[in-house]
Amino acid sequence: MSGRDIPEKPSDSDFGKRLGLVVLFFLVFLAGIVAMLLNIQIVNVRKYKEKAEKQYVRLVTEKAQRGVILDRHGRMLAETVETISFYADPEIVRNTPLFDEKGKPVNDRKTGNQKTFDNSREIASLFSRHLGKSRREYLKKLRRGKRLVVLGRKVPAVQALPIMQKKIPGVWFDREQQRYYLNVAAQVIGVTDSKNNGISGLELQFDRDLKGRDGSRVFQRSATGKRYPAPDALQQDPRKGHTVQLTLDADIQSIVEDELSAAVGTFQANAATGIVMDVRTGEILAMANNPTFDLNRRVTWSPERSRNRAVTDSFEPGSTFKIVMAATATEVLNRKAEDRVFANNGVLPLYGLRIRDHEPYGDISFREAIMHSSNVVAAKTAMETGREKFYAYTKSFGFGSKTGVGLLGESSGRVRSLKNWDRTTLPWMGYGYQVMVTPLQILQAYAAVANGGVLMKPRIIRRVVDGEGRTVKENQPEEVRKVVSSETARYLGMEYFKAVVDSGTAKSAAIPGMSVAGKTGTARRASGGSYANPVYVSSFVGYFPAESPRYALIVLVEEPRTAYYAATVAAPVFSRISSRILACSEELQKNLAFRSPEQGVLDSTKTVAVPDLKGMTPRDAERLLKWLGLEMDSNGGSDGLVKAQNVAPGSKVEKSRIIRVKLTSTARKRSFL
């Protein structure tokens, strides 16, 4: 044998141990795989299924088109249009892959990589040509170090189409919805936010109806990355939002806004409100506020400008509230227009205070007391009526309760309960103090008198229609209650309120060729709990034609500075608004020609009164003259405003007479028509 050591053979026991370790390792490995499979296939199957679907399945949401808002004639007040927003990745733009004329990649001979080039200048020129901004501005954006820049936001689809049709590496676009408005009745209609959700006005109030229901599409992706609709997935089409039609007339609304803006400027006032109502149906034809804001430029929005003062703000009305006093005098005291009353020579000492008139009236008729707006007679009449009766009529006319017009933020005003009255409440309420009302409440009360004593519920929503044209909701005229008899209503209108315009404090509210009934109100506004500061609210509320009323209108001007009596401030605005809407609204002309006996008299006479055309657009002036049977000659001009006329306002002339006018060089007022 050799002297070298011979290695020992491993024993069977060592081999068995090693084999056991291998088997054990294999069993543990197998158990781990089984456990993992159980976790994926059974325990967390939903989690891993969703994870897998995310890699090859994509859910795409299709935004529903927001519904439109229409005026009474179907004209668009608010609509949603598709806009395009363009984005770019500057790094890709500056390293755009190069292709030959056949569309094949152009590669570098040395490296074999595809060549690239800087496409910034061409893209900048393209966007400048179609979107209007300077080429330099786009170049500046495309040379930034960012990976994402905005080249255009909310571009109209027609304007964006030439760019969309080009496939530009590093440039892409998204479709977005943009709300556009006719830009009238801003406080009523309201606005949407950047996501097209209503945030004020009817846009907020009817947001659920207008926004519709978003659709969804399920897509799958193939191994090559190509996307296709999932064959077994439920595809849901978007459902367009409902259409909301209002009772507003866009033409009339625009005219009221024009005149309120002019009044605020002329009298340096803080604000103004105007409402036009059909007294027989309660439909609101216009509801305007100034200051206002541009619906298409949200930067002009502010809480102050967006407030719908016609329904949210309450004020002490002053003499327009004498409608309650006149009604109780007629029905409770059986007082007649010719009855004599004593106005205490303009001063009534009462409970250590004094109630004053603007003129020292003595013994006058009750008609004259209302014509000249005697506070002394109003206070004495209210005290004769008594607390219970006066309170009952006040509530019956709708004061102290919401009108039910259905607008957000409506105030109910304030009428104190009888138990909270003190000895000054009744006489002061007689001429419109110690009571708070909204402009709409005052208009509703006068409209009730104009409507034969029937109080109508004001309404501004005519109907709601779904995307298939089915009517979801429709509002019909609704009578609230009978506040005075039809005889009393006519007596108040013809004996008192018509006399106010014909011979009293509101002569400036007259409408050429049309009878008007109404009442002025000049009320001090309390400041810091005191009336010491000379701050006023001037208002006029009236209706026409007085003999057969159809339309009522209130004009309220807050805190005018250059003048404050309503006869000077609010009444002329009423006259101008009424004259313009009569000239421009075919609906009003048709209704009044059919309903008004005065219109028949006007048509049958040979002479008519020439209206005051100053400040009107040539189109408005010509329509008004035509309605009266007259012709207009502007010497060929069509721009600007009427600054002079050859026949003085109020002059009687034969029909078919030509009225020559001179125009300003440029129009200072906006004319919707």
Q: Summarize pLDDT for 398-423 with one digit per residue, the tens.
A: 999 999 998 999 999 999 999 999 99
Q: Are residues 596 and 616 in the same domain?
A: no
149 has pLDDT over 50: yes
* Mean predicted confidence (pLDDT) in 570-580: 93
Of 562, 586, 604, which closes a domain? 604
> Could you give the 3-state DSSP secondary structure of residue 38?
helix
Which two three-digit tokens encode residue 16?
Answer: 């068995």
**Treating both helix axes as pointing N-terminal to C-terminal, what angle do 322-331 and 375-385 enclose, rounded to 10 degrees?**
50
Asked if the structure places residue 402 within a domain, the reply is: yes
* Mean predicted confidence (pLDDT) in 97-125: 83
Q: Are residues 276 and 389 in the same domain?
A: yes
329/492 Cα distance (integer angstroms): 10
Using alpha carbons, select from 182, 181, 180, 200 the residue that is nearest to residue 190: 200
Asked if the structure places residue 59 within a domain, the reply is: no
Helix ranges restricted to H, 410-553: 425-430, 439-450, 486-491, 498-503
CATH code, domain carrying 173: 3.30.70.2110
Asked if the structure places residue 295 within a domain, the reply is: yes
User: Which pLDDT belongs to residue 12?
Assistant: 64
CATH code, domain carrying 463: 3.40.710.10
Q: Are residues 168 and 149 in the same domain?
A: yes
Using alpha carbons, select from 534, 576, 536 the residue that is nearest to residue 560: 536
263 has pLDDT over 60: yes
Q: Of residues 587 and 518, which shows the higher confidence score?
A: 518
Of 161, 180, 199, which closes a domain? 180
573/508 Cα distance (integer angstroms): 9
The predicted-structure confidence for 204-256, as pLDDT tens digits, reads as follows: 999 999 988 877 666 665 554 555 566 666 666 778 889 999 999 999 999 99
Tell me which residue range forms the domain holding 166.
82-180
* Mean predicted confidence (pLDDT) in 437-445: 97
Burial readout 537-560 (b: 16 or more C-beta within 10 A, e: otherwise): bbbbbbbbbbbebbbbbbbbbbbb
Q: Are residues 663 and 541 in the same domain?
A: no
Stretch among 101-115, 331-345, 549-563 having the lowest mean pLDDT: 101-115
User: Which pLDDT belongs to residue 602?
Assistant: 39
* Mean predicted confidence (pLDDT) in 502-525: 91
CATH code, domain carrying 636: 3.30.10.20
Q: What is the DSSP letter of 114?
A: B
Q: What is the DSSP letter of 392?
A: H
668 has pLDDT over 50: no
> Could you give the 3-state DSSP secondary structure of residue 372?
coil
* Mean predicted confidence (pLDDT) in 95-112: 81
Q: Are residues 621 and 590 in the same domain?
A: no
Query: Residue 278's beta-bridge partner residues?
Result: 551
Question: What's the length of the chain?
Answer: 673
CB atoms within 10 A of CB 304: 11
Q: Are residues 477 and 393 in the same domain?
A: yes
* Mean predicted confidence (pLDDT) in 281-293: 95
Q: Of residues 58 and 283, which shows the higher confidence score?
A: 283
35/254 Cα distance (integer angstroms): 75
192 has pLDDT over 70: yes
Based on its alpha-carbon atoms, the radius of gyration of the chain, rounded to whole angstroms, reads 38
- H or E stretch covering 51: helix 45-56
Asked if the structure places residue 330 within a domain, the reply is: yes
Asked if the structure places residue 634 within a domain, the reply is: yes
- H or E stretch covering 555: strand 551-558
592 has pLDDT over 70: yes
Stretch among 2-11, 102-111, 273-282, 427-436 having the lowest mean pLDDT: 2-11
Stretch among 163-177, 497-511, 517-531, 606-620 having the lowest mean pLDDT: 606-620
User: Which pLDDT belongs to residue 533?
Assistant: 77
Which two three-digit tokens encode residue 578?
Answer: 């009424």
The predicted-structure confidence for 36-65, as pLDDT tens digits, reads as follows: 777 666 766 676 566 655 555 666 667 778
How confident is the prediction for the chain on average, in pLDDT? 85
Of 180, 197, 224, which closes a domain? 180
User: Which pLDDT belongs to residue 667?
Assistant: 40
Asked if the structure places residue 373 within a domain, the reply is: yes
Q: Are residues 341 and 418 in the same domain?
A: yes
Q: Are residues 325 and 369 in the same domain?
A: yes
Long-range contacts of 353-359 (CB under 8 A, 24+ apart): 353/424, 355/379, 355/427, 355/428, 355/431
The predicted-structure confidence for 515-546, as pLDDT tens digits, reads as follows: 999 999 999 887 766 676 788 999 999 999 99
Stretch among 218-222, 450-454, 490-494 having the lowest mean pLDDT: 218-222
Asked if the structure places residue 268 within a domain, the reply is: yes
Helix H, strand E, coil C: the string for 38-88 is HHHHHHCHHHHHHHHHHHHEEEEEECCCCCCEECCCCCEEEEEEEEEEEEE
Q: Which residue has the tokens 């005290």?
A: 383
The predicted-structure confidence for 302-323, as pLDDT tens digits, reads as follows: 888 889 999 999 999 999 999 9
Contacts for 199 with CB less than 8 Å, ≥ 6 apart: 190, 191, 192, 193
Q: Of residues 490 and 193, which shows the higher confidence score?
A: 490
Instruction: Count H helices and E strands in the chain, helices first.
Output: 24, 28
* Structural domain count of the chain: 3
Q: Which residue has the tokens 């329509």?
A: 623
Per-residue pLDDT band at 672 (split at 50, 70, 90): very low
Q: Are residues 264 and 278 in the same domain?
A: yes
Cis previous bond, 291, omega within 30? yes
Helix ranges restricted to H, 115-249: 120-131, 135-142, 157-164, 186-189, 201-205, 207-211
Q: Which residue has the tokens 């519709």?
A: 212
User: Which pLDDT belongs to residue 594?
Assistant: 34
Asked if the structure places residue 344 within a domain, the reply is: yes
Q: DSSP string spanning 373-440? A: T-HHHHHHHHHHH-HHHHHHHHHHTTTTS------TT----B---GGG--TTHHHHHHTT-S-BB-HH
390 has pLDDT over 60: yes
Q: Are residues 498 and 576 in the same domain?
A: yes
631 has pLDDT over 60: yes
CB atoms within 10 A of CB 519: 31
Q: Are residues 554 and 630 in the same domain?
A: no
- Percentage of residues in the chain having pLDDT higher than 70: 86
353 has pLDDT over 80: yes
Q: Are residues 534 and 619 in the same domain?
A: no
The predicted-structure confidence for 368-386, as pLDDT tens digits, reads as follows: 999 999 999 999 999 999 9
